[in-house]
Amino acid sequence: MGPASGPRVPGTPGPDFYEYNAALSPVAAQEPRNTMTIADQIKADLATHLHRGDNGLPCKLTLDALARHYGVSMTPVRNAVEDLVEAGAILRLDNGRLAPGKVNRRTLAALVRQPSPASTQQNLEEAVRREVVQRSLRQDGDFLREQATAEKFDTGRTAVRQIFSRLAGAGMLEHVPRRGWRVKPYNAEDTLDYLVVRESLELKALDLARPYLVAADLERMLAANQPGLGSAPRLNDDMHDYWIDRCGNRYIQEFFARYSVFYNTLFNSAVLDEDTKRDMAVEHCDIVEALLQKDWRGARRALSRHIGDQQDNVERMIAALRD
């Protein structure tokens, strides 16, 4: 996982690096599964550009350049590109670089119409992940069964087994032969211990990523996080992924890849109301505004405060579940 030695190219995560914000965001959790995802929209737009030839591309054909162009994180871009590679619209060369393929009108029409398999799989995994977290919070001792879960989410047993295996690797589940999958019960002390380590490592990631922060990217993050006084607040967690992705330290990245799957889902699920969402948006803005002003100490203080508030949000959510 990550490079064996030497600094990684900033903005290019290793192949085994799970996105720090892979857990479903509060906004995405409210979206119907059948709506056109961001990855679908990117795929359709890219297919249209590719149909015009090399000169029709909006930017360089790299994941980082595409993410910057569309103003999104790596995940939807990666999903869109994988679909286009499978369809032959993008070629993956021997050196790993991407190159335009050939897109005829029939292929273009199919790419624009079809839902993204990668995006559908991501939505399924996020839904199953939320189910596991809810059971963990309720201290639910019943075993999860693959067939029952597959029927609940209208999918195949193989897909569920693969998701359960990944969640087991993240410490969320334990497989018990002939009985099913046991959910790790929520432990408040574990959460506090995680937050202590997370704060230390994320602050270090922010320090390491400082030379690679781009003002235009920070402006987009600021626009994506608005308290919405007098209107609905806007909340986006991509900023965490941004500096962890660019810190260049594979051990920090591996920590978040290993442990953040459960906790990000937990923390995002804890954003239950508009007031909490508004407070978090304010905290996000405080961090990003300090970075734009190159107030590094202020940014660190704001990030530290933001991480510390996560536990309070979780406790409120648990109290609501018990009521």
Q: Counting every residue, how long is the chain?
A: 323
Burial label, 152 (beta-carbon count in 10 A; 0-12, 13-18, 19+): middle
CATH of region 120-183: 1.10.10.10
- Which residue intervals of the chain are DSSP H helices? 38-51, 63-70, 74-86, 105-113, 117-137, 146-152, 157-169, 188-209, 215-224, 238-246, 250-269, 274-292, 296-322
- Other C-beta atoms lying within 10 Å of the C-beta of residue 314: 20
Which one, of 222, 221, 206, lies nearest residue 256 by Cα? 206
What is the structure's pLDDT at 8?
41
Which one, of 169, 187, 156, lies nearest residue 129 by Cα? 169
Q: Report which DSSP code applies to 25.
A: P
| Distant-in-sequence, close-in-space partners of 106: CB < 8 Å, separation ≥ 6 | none
What is the structure's pLDDT at 105?
67
Measured over the CA atoms of residue 220, residue 225, residue 226 and residue 232, the dihedral's sign is positive
Measured over the CA atoms of residue 67, residue 77, residue 26 and residue 315, the dihedral's sign is negative
What is the structure's pLDDT at 173?
93
Q: What are the sequence ranges of the domains in the chain?
A: 38-114, 120-183, 188-322
Q: What is the DSSP string of 49-101?
A: HHHT-GGG-SS-SSHHHHHHHHT--HHHHHHHHHHHHHTTSEEE-TTS-EEE-
How far is the C-alpha of 274 from the C-alpha of 131, rounded, in Å?
A: 22
| Residue 317: half-sphere exposure toward Cβ, Cα within 13 Å | 23
For domain 188-322, the CATH superfamily is GntR ligand-binding domain-like (1.20.120.530)
| Residue 18: half-sphere exposure toward Cβ, Cα within 13 Å | 19
| Distant-in-sequence, close-in-space partners of 53: CB < 8 Å, separation ≥ 6 | 100
Report angle CA 129, 80, 13 to the nearest 5 degrees. Answer: 70
What is the structure's pLDDT at 302?
97
What is the structure's pLDDT at 120?
60
Fold designation for 38-114: Arc Repressor Mutant, subunit A (1.10.10)
Which one, of 115, 32, 18, 35, lies nearest residue 73 by Cα? 18
In this chain, the answer to whether the domains covering 38-114 and 188-322 adopt an identical fold is: no
Please, what is the average pLDDT of the chain?
Answer: 80
What is the structure's pLDDT at 232?
76
What is the structure's pLDDT at 251?
96
Q: Which two tokens stand for residue 245?
A: 């992705």
What is the structure's pLDDT at 181?
96
Mean pLDDT by 10 residues, the chain (323 residues): 39 38 36 53 82 74 85 80 85 87 70 55 81 88 90 83 88 92 90 93 98 94 84 85 94 91 82 82 96 98 93 75 59
| Distant-in-sequence, close-in-space partners of 49: CB < 8 Å, separation ≥ 6 | 56, 57, 58
Contact status, residue 119 vs residue 37, Cβ threshold 8 Å? yes
